[in-house]
Structure 1
Amino acid sequence: MKNRALFCAIALLPALFVSTLASSQEEQMLKVATFNVSMEATNYKALGMKPSDQVLQYVLSTGEHSQVKNIAEIIQRVNPDILMLNEFDYIADKRKGVDAFVKNYLNVSQGGLEPVDYLYTYVATVNTGEPTKFDLDNNGKAEGFGGDAYGFGLYPGQYGMALLSKYPIDVDGIRTFQTFKWHHMPHPQVPIIPDESGSTDKGKPWYDVEEWAALRLSSKSHWDVPVKVAGKTVHILAMHPTPPNFDGSEDRNGKRNFDEIRLMADYLSPDKGAYIYDDNGEKVSLSENARFVLVGDFNAADIGDKHREGVIEQLTEHPLVNNDIIPTSAGGAGASGAEFSNRFTAYWGARADYVLPSRFGFDVNDAGVFWPAKTSDLYRLVKDREASSDHRLVWISLSLTDDN
């Protein structure tokens, strides 16, 4: 009997090994997503309120706003492990902001789906709506907000950022780059007003000396948020550069968008990022062989509307970045007859939102854009901006490799 029991135990070893291995592999799977939720677009006029972060606080407290319920349903359907939200107003009291969104919308079944939970969240201040004393938009008035803020916004924190994670966030390891000065970047793209001939060689700088010395590069902020996954560190590199429009021949927003993307591209390696300092004044960049995932609405198309050659390519063609599998959707393909429209992430026809992993430390399993076709019952979630957003949720499924 003892020998028979020993034989049975030995016979079970391969199955136990396979089960343990499968469990280990499953634990190392990671789905990362980004979603510009356009929550600044909630109808404050219908609520009888003025534009401010108080609008979003109210909406998040009720659990009943139709746009936010649809956003929550989309998130529940994709169910990412780590999720970056753009255009989610900064609210200092997380209980009234991002945590209220989790509690009152994501923890509640939407459309009969299983609720999802995110135990770890991160928010921080941004430059949008942060007042300056300057007339940065050169309209003859120093108003402090709007085009005269460090980043365009009607109030501090508008168009903010939030990170949600099912895995622990290494709070002590977070780096932010909200206050990095644009002129501290080597060879920045200085906005110049062209002369009468259209030449910038003898043109006039858009910003005066004092403005240029004070101007911050990031229109919102740049973040490096380390997340602990299966005993390994994954750096979530988040940003939301300014749209490259709403300006003039000086191209101040286009140039800023280019350099905001360049800052993150340079940050990826010590040789390029030696000039970068964080909000603590410390010179920092990623170490070699670091796992990272770039996330956010980058406002830079690799194809489609407003594709500017060489801008997003700073990341998509970076040797450390894996852009091999491009997220696509049936809805994007059906929304436009343009070539490669299945990769669009914004309703106006562009790939503007990105989830880009490092080549080091990951295998890419799958990727997609939540954009159902018009024939799908789920099209109700994305039919217009009021339904959810003018952007689509983008996700990528990864496996962490055993690289050190």
Structure 2
Amino acid sequence: MENLSVRIATFNVSMEARNYQSDSAQLNAAVLDQQLQSDSAQIANIAAIIQQVRPDILLLNEFDRTANPEQTIELFQQHYLNAGLNPIEFPYRYSAPVNTGELFPMDLNGDGNISRPADTYGFGFFPGHYGMLILSRYPIALDRVRTFAKFKWKDMPAALAPKINGKPFYSAAQWQEMRLSSKSHWDVPVLIGDREIHLLASHPTPPVFDGAEDRNGRRNHDEIRLWFDYISGQADYLYDDVGERGSLTEGQSFVIAGDLNASATEGDGHRVIMQQLLSHPKIQDPAPTSVGGEQARPDQQGSEYHTAAWGMRADYVLPSSDLSIVGSGVFWPALDDAQHELVKSRRASSDHRLVWVDISL
């Protein structure tokens, strides 16, 4: 039988309301729909990048979840992905609720009110802000998807609970309620012929925008650690959103994908967790590169591996060790390439780059 090459990609597309609306009072889930029904140069460039790379399975981070997700996804498909000279069709989609913008039942910032964005399970101005979306050319086993949005941080053994001056940062009641995932963690089985690959999708919180308690840095660490435990058979403690417990089944093929907001060598996060994940015996790291990334930071060692405009490797596609990798890359054209206009700024498309890996089945 002839081998089949499958391209799996992740792309933080910055298709979130604050990228289009500066007035925080006007931020809501309808902002993205309005953009998708207009002639948005930024979204057109995002579509052009996707059309150029042509992934078979694609995780989008920072794609707001709206009141009618299927309608929003169809607007993106019909008005942008199907437009131009090189249209691309994704007949299979997966979207689900995320923790961003969901009100926490207690006052987290001590201002006497429970309000967004400060008093939420995950930072956001409305439910679904900074959401996630999976697009696929291959069928998704929707009846076997697992989501972990409601898993409590306290239930992770040896969780890195935030502390200030050696004392817990969160009150006992807050800690009992706090969820680990800032958006969600999804285990999405994709069916490719007679093979099944589990796309392990997430978007951990940036390890910044906090204080000495390091609540975001510690949360980022443990959000990444969830996948480490999940693929290691060490997640008996983990329960999904319907109450089922346990790790990924031994022998299952998987790909970890997403904007992990962490690096093994740079940035403000806990680098050790990325070092551990990238060296995990069940994971292959193809370390995709680009000329554009190297040119953007010519004096920074390892800049060819960068996936974010500010100069860091933040976005990953990490296949399990049983899969055969035949190619990889970061869409970051060289400065003298005409397509560099697509990535010259966040306003042009995003402050992240699309990362892809080809596997042979």
Larger Rg: 1
Query: Does residue 360 of structure 2 align to residue 399 of structure 1?
Result: yes
Q: CA deviation at 1:133?
A: 2.4
Percent pairwise identity: 48
**Equivalent position SS for 2:198:** strand
Q: In the TM superposition, what are the counterparts of 1:5-404 in structure 2 within 5 Å?
A: 21=1, 24-25=2-3, 28-40=4-16, 41-45=18-22, 50-62=26-38, 64-109=39-84, 113-136=85-108, 138-194=109-165, 200=166, 204-270=167-233, 272-306=234-268, 308-323=270-285, 325-336=286-297, 337-360=299-322, 362-400=323-361
Structure 1 residue identity aligned to 2:280: H
Rounded Cα–Cα distance in structure 1 between residues aligned with 2:244 and 2:22? 43
Rounded Cα–Cα distance in structure 1 between residues aligned with 2:358 and 2:179? 34
Q: CA deviation at 1:91?
A: 2.0
Q: CA deviation at 1:317?
A: 1.3
Contact 2:190/2:196, CA 8 A, preserved across alignment: yes
For structure 1, list consecutive stretches of 5 or more residues without a partner in the other structure: 1-20, 195-199
Structure 1 residue identity aligned to 2:259: D
Structure 2 residue identity aligned to 1:105: Y
Q: CA deviation at 1:172?
A: 0.3
Structure 2 residue identity aligned to 1:314: Q
Rounded Cα–Cα distance in structure 2 between residues aligned with 1:180 and 1:45? 33
Rounded Cα–Cα distance in structure 2 between residues aligned with 1:150 and 1:83? 26
Contact 2:218/2:270, CA 8 A, preserved across alignment: no
Q: TM-score, normalised by structure 1?
A: 0.86
- 1:266-310 CA-partner distances (Å, limit 9, x unpaired): 11132x111111000111311111110011000001233336331
- 1:242-287 CA-partner distances (Å, limit 9, x unpaired): 00010011100000000000111111132x1111110001113111
Contact 2:217/2:269, CA 8 A, preserved across alignment: no
Structure 2 residue identity aligned to 1:309: R
Contact 1:365/1:399, CA 8 A, preserved across alignment: yes
Rounded Cα–Cα distance in structure 2 between residues aligned with 1:45 and 1:263? 34
**CA RMSD, aligned part only?**
1.5
Contact 1:133/1:144, CA 8 A, preserved across alignment: no
Contact 1:276/1:283, CA 8 A, preserved across alignment: yes
Structure-2 residue corresponding to 1:16: none
Contact 1:44/1:55, CA 8 A, preserved across alignment: yes
**Equivalent position SS for 1:333:** helix
Structure 2 residue identity aligned to 1:43: Y
**Equivalent position SS for 2:76:** helix
Rounded Cα–Cα distance in structure 2 between residues aligned with 1:346 and 1:255? 21
**Equivalent position SS for 2:105:** coil
Rounded Cα–Cα distance in structure 1 between residues aligned with 2:45 and 2:215? 35
**Equivalent position SS for 2:326:** strand
Rounded Cα–Cα distance in structure 2 between residues aligned with 1:147 and 1:394? 31
Rounded Cα–Cα distance in structure 2 between residues aligned with 1:310 and 1:187? 15
Contact 1:92/1:124, CA 8 A, preserved across alignment: no
Contact 2:161/2:168, CA 8 A, preserved across alignment: yes
Structure 1 residue identity aligned to 2:176: A
Structure 2 residue identity aligned to 1:54: A
Rounded Cα–Cα distance in structure 1 between residues aligned with 2:269 and 2:301? 13
**Equivalent position SS for 1:211:** helix
Compared CA separation, residues 154 and 70, structure 1 to 2 (3 A): same
Contact 1:305/1:348, CA 8 A, preserved across alignment: no
Contact 1:328/1:368, CA 8 A, preserved across alignment: yes
Rounded Cα–Cα distance in structure 1 between residues aligned with 2:143 and 2:189? 9
**Equivalent position SS for 1:37:** strand
Rounded Cα–Cα distance in structure 2 between residues aligned with 1:316 and 1:50? 41
For structure 2, list consecutive stretches of 5 or more residues without a partner in the other structure: none
Q: State the 4+ residue runs in structure 1 displaced beyond 6 angstroms.
A: none
Structure 1 residue identity aligned to 2:120: A
Rounded Cα–Cα distance in structure 2 between residues aligned with 1:220 and 1:317? 25
